[in-house]
Structure 1
Amino acid sequence: MTEMLENERNTAAAWFKTLRDDIVSAFEALEDRQTAGPIAHLPAGRFEVTNTKRDAEDGSDAGGGLMSVMRSGRVFEKVGVNISTVYGALAPPAQKAMAARGVPGMDRDPRFWASGISLVAHMQNPHAPAVHMNTRMFWTPHAWWFGGGSDLNPCIEYAADTQHFHDTQKAHLAPHGDDLYPKLKEWADEYFYIPHRNRARGVGGIFMDDRNTGDWAADFALTQDIGRAFLPAFVPLIDLRRDTAWTDADKDTQLIHRGLYAEYNLVYDRGTKFGLATGHDANAVLMSLPPLAKWI
């Protein structure tokens, strides 16, 4: 069955590209709407797009993607929206990691294919929350699955913002079963936790991995709705907070909170580990790191 998924893989990769295009357009529109505040004199931010490449050990074509990064905008201090489609053979350490997760047959045939979108936004205004979102499909000759989600990372928390973010995700997941949102919310709470700090990195969201019910179309539809939930969950919060006045103390709070984000992504994040272990462009993999951070 897994060998017959070429059309499905192409469909998933095309969807991630469409979602990427929609998000890039929405974020550039946010930049255009920002005409007030202490940094409104800056040019409206625009994404710089770079082709990325995965290096296979034998020099063969191993895929790549697009890294789209905006820096020093009116709204976004740094935001990256990356897509990639990579393939080839997993190196022994990655094979071992996959086997440990229960993926069958990796010792017999280490071929893989993976495609997805990954987004991290760090904001200029400390009152506007940072955010992460990704969705992906992974295939081997022995298994396939989907994963991803999104979570909100405010340094200054507003209960109404948290409620809106979660309510929007819950509404998008509702067509897939009433039990799904609580399950994926709990999964996010567990996954986006920083053990050495004994705290979550933000106010949560939704997360799933290894999603394979045996119905590819249904699992893909769920993955699409996770992606579709992102803009209506996030953009209204930025429109609400982007003109809020901030102080030097607010900015200091933001920089310290970003340190937590950096710690999590470098120590625990599964996607960061996989990207570096499989030879993908390191700049694209580490795009999630904030432009500035502070530790006390």
Structure 2
Amino acid sequence: MTDDFESRKSRASAWFRDLRDQIVTAFEGLETQQGGAAPGRFEITPTLRESGGGGEMAVLRNGTVFEKIGVNISTVFGTLGDRAQKAMAARGVPGMADDPRFWASGISLVAHMQNPHCPAVHMNTRMFWTPHAWWFGGGADLNPCIEYPEDTAHFHGTLQAACDAHAPDYYARFKAWADEYFFIPHRGRARGVGGIFYDDLNTGDWEADFAFTQSVGRAFLPAFLPVTERRIASPASAEDRETQLRHRGLYAEYNLVYDRGTKFGLETGHNPEAVLMSLPPVAKWY
């Protein structure tokens, strides 16, 4: 399976990079459209993983629209440590004790907005491979501190259309999974208004699963940009900012305590700045 998958690994890694470039171009265009003396621009820096692979961090800070947004790509490989092996075995991945090699590639995006009326957002897609198994995972979810039902409906509707093009049950399954996954038990609430989440996707048809993962990535900009453009000019009060900062605290709690990607990145020795890119620049707790 190793030889058969080399070209597939390359295609997946190249796609995640291409999607990153599309998103960076679109968001820098949005910064330019909104004017200002210094529209935000992404700073792209390489990241390295000592035991194999690396990637790039693309981060925009203090823009007109985005207070902080990171769009990271990575392709990493090597041997899973004991904790990661046990976690994979618990998820049903066979053969990890005999051959714990792995390869993983993906894109991860988190945006924290200047205007409290613009929702924060998360998106990621990835491919994971071992000598014994492969799968795709990812999704997107919206995190408004001030919810507008029409924004939630647009975001979910766009993701549903992407899912429906591949399987009639995908949206219902992956929406329910997102509702469960993005729940914060110690707060007794969801971190946002949901979206879709999927993992361990292996139908036996690599091309079909890759095509679905590409569709999820392509759906992100049409799901999120119209919502953002609708709220950019909304007047925001000091109270709105307080609401935003407290909601960011909730977001930070989730990412540090529960998020799978954060745990995997830190446990496998990836660049901690890249792994913790998702944290907001400013947050509050009371």
| Corresponding residue to 1:230 among 220, 223, 236 | 220
**8 Å Cα contact 1:188/1:205 also seen in 2:** yes
Aligned to 2:64: 74
Residue 87 (structure 1) aligned with residue 77 (structure 2): yes
How many Å apart are 1:24 and its aligned residue? 0.3
| Corresponding residue to 2:172 among 179, 182, 187 | 182
How many Å separate the matches in 2 of 1:195 and 1:33? 40
Aligned to 1:156: 146
How many Å separate the matches in 1 of 2:219 and 2:242? 31
How many Å apart are 1:3 and its aligned residue? 4.6
Cα distance per residue 1:209-266 (max 9 Å; x no partner):
0000110000000100010110000001111101111000000000000000000000
How many Å separate the matches in 2 of 1:258 and 1:2? 42
Aligned to 1:34: 34
- When the two structures are superposed, what TM-score results if normalisation uses the length of structure 1? 0.95
Aligned to 1:211: 201
How many Å apart are 1:193 and its aligned residue? 0.4
Aligned to 2:89: 99
In structure 2, the gaps of 5 or more residues are none
How many Å separate the matches in 2 of 1:161 and 1:95? 40
Matches within 5 A, 1:134-153: 134-153=124-143
Equivalent pairs counted in the alignment come to 286
How many Å separate the matches in 2 of 1:104 and 1:151? 30
Residue 46 (structure 1) aligned with residue 36 (structure 2): no
| Corresponding residue to 2:181 among 191, 197, 200 | 191
Aligned to 1:111: 101
Q: Name the % identity.
A: 69
Find the residue that maps to 2:49 and give its secondary structure: strand
How many Å separate the matches in 1 of 2:96 and 2:150? 46
Aligned to 1:294: 284
Aligned to 1:59: none
**8 Å Cα contact 1:51/1:67 also seen in 2:** yes
How many Å apart are 1:203 and its aligned residue? 0.2
How many Å separate the matches in 2 of 1:75 and 1:175? 32
Aligned to 2:113: 123
| Corresponding residue to 2:244 among 250, 254, 266 | 254
**8 Å Cα contact 1:3/1:141 also seen in 2:** no
How many Å apart are 1:204 and its aligned residue? 0.3
Aligned to 2:157: 167
How many Å apart are 1:2 and its aligned residue? 5.0
Cα distance per residue 1:100-145 (max 9 Å; x no partner):
1111000000100000000000000000000000000000000000
**8 Å Cα contact 1:52/1:284 also seen in 2:** yes
Find the residue that maps to 2:24 and give its secondary structure: helix
Aligned to 2:17: 17
Q: What is the identity, as a one-letter code, of the residue corresponding to 1:235? A: L
How many Å separate the matches in 2 of 1:115 and 1:63? 10
Q: 4+ residue runs of structure 1 moved beyond 4 angstroms?
A: none
How many Å separate the matches in 2 of 1:48 and 1:134? 19
Q: What is the identity, as a one-letter code, of the residue corresponding to 1:174? A: D
Residue 268 (structure 1) aligned with residue 258 (structure 2): yes
How many Å separate the matches in 1 of 2:109 and 2:170? 23
How many Å apart are 1:179 and its aligned residue? 1.2
How many Å separate the matches in 1 of 2:126 and 2:16? 8
Q: What is the identity, as a one-letter code, of the residue corresponding to 1:64? A: G
> RMSD of the alignment, in Å?
0.8
Aligned to 1:63: 53
